[in-house]
Amino acid sequence: MISEIAQGFAALAHPMTFLHLVGGFMLGLVFGAIPGLTATLAIALLLPFTFGMDVSDALVMVAGIYMAGIYAGSITGITLNIPGAPSGAITTIDGHALMKRGEGTQALGMSALASALGGLIGAVVLIALAQPVSAIALMFQTPDKFSLVLLAVVTVTIVASGPLIKAMMAMALGLMISTVGIDPMVPVGRFDFGSYHLIEGIGLLPAVIGLFAVCEMIAQSAAPSSLQKAEAVAKVVRPRRRDFLPTRAHIREVGLIATVKSALIGVVIGMLPGGGASMASFIAYAEAKRSARAPEKFGNGSYEGLAASESANNAMCGGAVIPLLTMGIPGDAVTAIIFGVLLIHGLVPGPALLSDNLVVIAPMFAALFVASIFVFLSVLAFGPVYLRLSQINRGVLYGFIAMISMVGVYASSFSFFQMWMALAIGAVAFLLRSFGYPVVPALMGVILGPYFEEFLRRSLIVSEGDPTIFLRSPASVVLLALTALFIWLLRVRPALRAAKS
């Protein structure tokens, strides 16, 4: 294990692999910092290119995008009060307050330092836990696997934004898309309407490109540019690079223990299906405020609050990769697309992945670690540029996204039909978004659908239709109890409290 991880770090010394990391990191910075674009979209756009890449290089690039994209969400949040990504929303509260006080460079510097520390802690936890968790997951039987997928499906649905019924509907639609094509257990076609195109099923790539890239382009075409102009009210300054180094006083104010605690919260939340960077930063921020010496500063420009949310959301990256690689369960949209990258290269995420292919995956672990260091270096190198990132011409941006996404679908499938599918899915996803239906559960439904169905049917075949099979294994019972606990904690209890008050 240690030698494979060391090989992973050594692989980054190869010029091409290192260039993939730097390229992914820069892409993540740009996409994370521009409001409306996210790391998810960047990785979705990268997906077609991974066909022509070595799998380790592709994973290294994805790790660079992931780490940089989550961090960069805070950049325009701090400078313009518009978080570049949802993960930067909590950071914006204190970051922009600091910006208004004339401490924008220090806020950006502290955000980068906390993100780097969080990212490093997340990567270390990932390296330490990945193989032990895989070993446990190898003992799972089919009913346990179904209960695990059910846990992911349920939690992703209940944490989605908006009304629960709409999130459930979106999940059902995603599961329905996954049923199109050859049945996973019996060699018969389903929902193909006699078309040989549909009998192959709807590819993961058109689904990802449609749900994120095409949908985003359509949504932006409906948004007036005057809205963005009106929101960009904060003054953009041109500081020196050394101004971005956090001062000792600010580092002492935040404290190492508080940063580590926030990072560990981020890792744990990242490991939970549906957790995500936004939830990690929100919970770490709330905990930091609860235990702070000066909680009244939170919301009015607190370095402690800023560091807590940033440390947690970058630590989440390492945590979120653990269930994906060890159990084959993607917890959010980014890991769902990483799932696709692995599948494209013939690697099936799950308990056997690390035991059979650790040498291939290890550079990704190393890349998450090194990208965390890049996060801090980036603010020193590009700090002044960060302040101008949100001013990119929309025509150039969406012309680029539109072309790359549609040509990407063709280049990866050589199928005009799949291009039409990406457009159709994008148009439907735009309608879903417009009417308040979250699209992430739909993507999770598309990805987890085949596993959900296969494990459910296999279990019922073994038990001859008796559903109590899911209550006979201790692991399955624990996972079902966890599912019930999450439903209680995240939906039922808040609803009861709201009804009482």
Partner 1 sequence: MPRLLNGQVLFALGLAAMNTIYAGQVAAMDRPFATGEPGPAFLPMILCGFVYIAAAWIVIAEFRAAPAVRSTRDASDTIPALHVIGPLVAIGLTALFIITFFYAGYAVAAALYTFLIALFFNYETTGAPVRSALIALATSVGVTLFGWLFFVKLFDLYLPVWGA
Residue 189 parent element (H or E): strand 189-190
Q: How far is the CB of 13 from partner 1 (least distance, A)?
A: 22
Bridge partners, residue 189, by sequence: 182
Per rule CB under 8 A, is residue 495 in the interface with partner 1?
A: no
460 binds partner 1 (CB under 8 A): yes
Interface residue with partner 1, options 430, 451, 470, 486 (CB under 8 A): 430
Contact flag: residue 176 with partner 1 (CB under 8 A): yes
Q: Which of 85, 149, 152, 173 binds partner 1 (CB under 8 A)?
A: 173
Check residue 175 for interaction with partner 1 (CB under 8 A).
yes
Helix crossing, 104-138 with 256-271: angle to 10°? 50
What are the tokens at 271? 């490991």
Assess 365 for contact with partner 1 (CB under 8 A).
no
13 binds partner 1 (CB under 8 A): no
Q: Which of 2, 13, 139, 186 binds partner 1 (CB under 8 A)?
A: 186
CA atoms within 13 A on the CB side of 186: 8
Q: Does 195 bind partner 1 (CB under 8 A)?
A: no
Interacting residues of 400 by C-beta distance below 8 A, sequence separation 6+? none
Q: Decide if residue 499 touches partner 1 (CB under 8 A).
A: no
Q: Counting runs of H as helices and runs of E as strands, what totals does the chain give?
A: 24, 2
Q: Are 108 and 386 in contact (CB under 8 A)?
A: yes
Among 183, 200, 243, 287, binds partner 1 (CB under 8 A): 183
Binding track, positions 202-241, relative to partner 1; x by CB under 8 A: ------------x--xxxxxxxxxxx--------------
Site string for partner 1, 387-406 (x = CB under 8 A): ------xxxxxxxx-xxx-x
- Residue 448 tokens read as 């987890």
DSSP state of 391: G
Q: What is the DSSP string of 64-128?
A: HHHHHHHHHTTHHHHHHS--SSGGGHHHHHHHHHHHHTT-HHHHHHHHHHHHHHHHHHHHHHHHH
356 vs 466, which CB is nearer to partner 1?
A: 466
CB 119 within 8 A of CB 371: yes
| Interacting residue ranges for partner 1, rule: CB under 8 A | 48-49, 51-53, 165-166, 168-169, 172-173, 175-176, 179, 183, 185-186, 188, 190-191, 193, 214, 217-227, 393-400, 402-404, 406-408, 410-412, 414, 416, 419-420, 423, 426-427, 430-431, 435-436, 452-453, 456-457, 460-461, 464-465
